[in-house]
Amino acid sequence: MENNFLWGGALSANQVEGAYLEDGKGLDISDLLTAGTATTKRKITTSVNENEYYPNHKAIDFYHNYKSDIKLMAKMGFKCLRVSINWSRIFPHGDENEPNEQGLKFYHNLFETMKQYNIKPIITLSHFEMPYYLVEKFGGWRNRKCIAFFVKFAKVCLDNFMQYTNYWLTFNEINNQYLVENPLFPYTNSGLIFNANDNKREVMFQAVHNEFVAGSQVVKYAHSLNANLKVGCMVAASPYYANTPNPEDILKAQKLNQYQMFFSDVQVRGKYPNFILKEWQEKGYHIEITDKDLADLNHGCVDYIGFSYYLSSTVSADPNRKRIGSGNAASEDTVVNPYLQKNKWGWTVDPIGLRIWLNQVYDRYQLPLFLVENGLGAEDKLTSDYKIHDPYRINYLKDHIIEMKKAIEIDGVPVIGYLVWGCIDCISFTTGQMSKRYGLIYVDLDDRGKGTLKRYKKDSFDWFKTVIKTNGKKL
């Protein structure tokens, strides 16, 4: 492991900040997601309904507690912390000419606090926080006008905060929206609410194209400011395995892996792969793409690949095989993998899958990789003496770090860093729960927003502190 390996944590603004309309902030798309459960989907409402509970409105109130929270992370020895800049804090509606100075001030203060503790920000520009006004007025990313709105926002962020970090990410888990039948994914990725007449896949591809173009323009702008600025794409990594040696199963898995890689293909290589162009042609999709778009894509390729990793999926081409899905996060083609355990939310636990994915992706692109999310959601118990014993989380993280180290030290894959997702308990993206806890720091808050908001160190806090201190030698 290189001495400059980046150990740390990862958060998003919408899942931790709260203060959802404070200091000039506008409504963002996550502000209109209700609470759900492991078995109940979150609802998307078109306005704030007083009869619904919206967990992101309050979240864990990081907005007012960031100084003490960053201090706790510094005690763990964090070298970096991934955060997002909420687009609706900077441009409340998204289409203003001038940014909201109070929003800029908050992030300036946050990054100054991190700087005091030598914690480098890893900044995500879009993490499910599109101003809802852009959804209402323009239909979200299906509308090309959002390219200019987003690029303006990104330029303001780069101009104001480039002195704090050289690592930036454009769109969080941009490939989630490929699963168009789950309304949560196209909505949070791209502000898409489908109409009855929409061809969902065609609309999704148009939105994704517009995001690709916007991302490429951001890369070009960042490089024009400083050649040392590194802008990455960000995808959700979930390798697909064939259920049997049957070539039909293998082809099924290959096709699903191809579609997952499509989202990084365009951002890394600067052009569309043939299989996507062929699909558009065969299905009669009309995706608006200009010559300038193609030039932008070609000249705005990313510098590294950021990714999240939680699970793998096993798929079958046999229509008679029982489908189980992968909990609330994956494809309808998934079948049971008898070699892997699952958690309460139906997610498979597959550390070796991380090594497999790292090798596949480096073989494909020869670009540095950055594991910007890995973690375990679980129901933690606060004991009467205010302890949280979470050996299951320690084991999960340890097993994944071991496989990541093998990819680095045995396979020669260059990995920039490892970030624990939800390093402090936060609102779960897929379910809106607090009880699905990822953190190394416990937050006293329940699924209905009740609690003291006090922070407590879990056993995993001290364990990860040792991991960082020994640069991964002591696990």
* Catalytically annotated residues: 373
User: Could you tell me the two tokens for 343?
Assistant: 């958690």
DSSP per residue, 223-253: HHH-TT-EEEEEEEE--EEESSS-HHHHHHH
| Best CA proximity match to 439, nearest among 380, 386, 387 | 380
Angle at 420 between CA 417 and CA 426, to 5 degrees: 145
Asked if residue 211 lies in contact with residue 203, where contact means CB atoms within 8 angstroms, the answer is: no
Interatomic CA distance for residues 176 and 128, integer angstroms: 11
Interatomic CA distance for residues 445 and 424, integer angstroms: 12
Give a three-class secondary structure readout of 182-221: CCHHHHHHHCCCCCCCCCHHHHHHHHHHHHHHHHHHHHHH
Interatomic CA distance for residues 72 and 117, integer angstroms: 10
Sorted by sequence, the CB contacts under 8 Å of residue 388 that are 6+ apart come out as 380, 381, 382, 442, 456, 457, 458, 459
Angle at 140 between CA 138 and CA 146, to 5 degrees: 75
Number of neighbouring beta carbons within 10 Å of residue 438: 25
| Best CA proximity match to 243, nearest among 351, 333, 168 | 333
Check residue 409 and report its DSSP letter.
H
Instruction: For residue 222, give the H/E element and its range.
Output: helix 200-225
Helices 247-269 and 274-283 pack at an angle, to 10 degrees, of 100
Sorted by sequence, the CB contacts under 8 Å of residue 378 that are 6+ apart come out as 343, 344, 390, 392, 393, 436, 437, 438
HSE-up of residue 459 (Cα within 13 Å, Cβ side): 14
Residue whose tokens read 């090594």: 355
Sorted by sequence, the CB contacts under 8 Å of residue 77 that are 6+ apart come out as 7, 465, 468, 469
Angle at 175 between CA 194 and CA 267, to 5 degrees: 120
